[in-house]
Amino acid sequence: MAEPSVITDYLAALARQLPGPVVEELADGLDQAYLSGVRSGLPADAAASTAVAEFGKPHVVVAAFTEAIPARRDARRLLIAGPAIGACWGAALITARAWTWPVPAASRAMFGASLLAVITLLAFASLSRRYRPVRFAAMAGLAGVCVLDASLLAMAVSMAAVKLPLALATVASALRVAYAARGLRRACRVRVG
């Protein structure tokens, strides 16, 4: 039996925004709903329309799948934890009198710009409603967190005196790297197409 155009159009709208495996699962469920309608005596077009209506408008389905992306949840958690961990590093750097260190201005500016880019990626992943951009922004943000925290940890290792603020900041960054790396590994395992 040929698939009615209303179902084909619906799946095409989903395929433009969701990964292939997700659309395939939705297609199976939609097909079951359609066949159930036909078996219950509905004409093919009415059964197709009923099945599509049961699933909901494409933008609603896409929004639901986007909301469920684990990397999106990870991005939100990292944004929430960011100010507290940043405060730990601020206290550590003030205690260590970081303004007296011979660090080139370009290096400071590059670190600041990188931090701003990571925050922007995580915020985009937390707020956007489009599946693929959310997933890729979250992955880039998670990778950026790993790189930035790893550079802070390397700096901490090079510091001679370990004081409580530095120890707290180091532990917080190490935990954040572990969390971000786990989320990134999970996101990379998901097949998108």
Q: Quote the number of domains for the chain.
A: 2
Residue 126 belongs to what domain range?
Answer: 69-189
Same domain, 47 and 11: yes
CB 6, CB 52: distance < 8 Å: yes
Give residue-wise pLDDT tens across range 14-38. Answer: 999 898 888 999 999 999 999 999 9
Distance between CA atoms of residues 11 and 23, nearest Å: 7
Distant-in-sequence, close-in-space partners of 5: CB < 8 Å, separation ≥ 6: none
Distance between CA atoms of residues 21 and 36, nearest Å: 23
Distant-in-sequence, close-in-space partners of 41: CB < 8 Å, separation ≥ 6: none
36-40, 102-106, 126-130, 158-162: the lowest-pLDDT one: 158-162
Same domain, 124 and 171: yes
Same domain, 75 and 52: no
Instruction: Determine the pLDDT at residue 160.
Output: 64
Give the pTM.
Answer: 0.79
Same domain, 59 and 98: no
Choose one of 64, 90, 111: the last residue of a domain: 64
Residue 183 clears pLDDT 70, i.e. is over it: yes
